[in-house]
Amino acid sequence: MPAIAVMSAAVPAYATQYMTVAEAQKRAFPNAQLAEVQAGRVWKAEAGGRPIGYFFFDHVIGKHLNIDYSVALGPDGRVHRVDILEYRESYGGEVRDAAWLGQFAGKGPQGALDVRTISGATLSSTHITEGVKRVLAYYESHLK
């Protein structure tokens, strides 16, 4: 009886959690109280009884695996900050670079969201940009 070779393609674990949702919320709005608007996804930030922005938790697909990220919007609907919370791919982690993420700051729901892609992380950077556009569109249609 001939032996049968069984090959298994194990997927190495590369997931890196950089921060939790609560930590990202604290970075975005250090002195705010957050009230959930959409369970586990959208929070309204208030300080001193007045609205100071919104916090969104979302995920997009990188090349093969999900990327968890957050977007904080100011009271005017413009991007305050974008953070990568968990990155699961074995390459392309450059999307976590502060200079790249900083390109989103000040962008609003109106106008183009021109953000450069990253060589070696083209899909991840493109999909994160699309995710931020989706967050801005949601703000414009549901929260403004």
Chain segment 98-117, per-residue pLDDT in tens: 999 999 999 998 777 788 88
User: Whole-prediction pTM value?
Assistant: 0.88
Q: Which of 75, 57, 74 is nearest to 66 (CA)?
A: 57
What is the phi/psi pair of residue 24, to 5°? -65, -40
Q: What is the domain partition of the chain in residue ranges?
A: 16-143
Amino acid 4: pLDDT = 58
Calpha distance 103→67 (Å, rounded): 18
Res. 39 pLDDT band, cuts 50 70 90: very high
Q: What kind and span of H or E run contains 27? A: helix 21-28
Amino acid letter, residue 86: E
> Where do we find the tokens 């801005």?
136
Calpha distance 51→37 (Å, rounded): 13
How many residues are recorded in the chain? 144
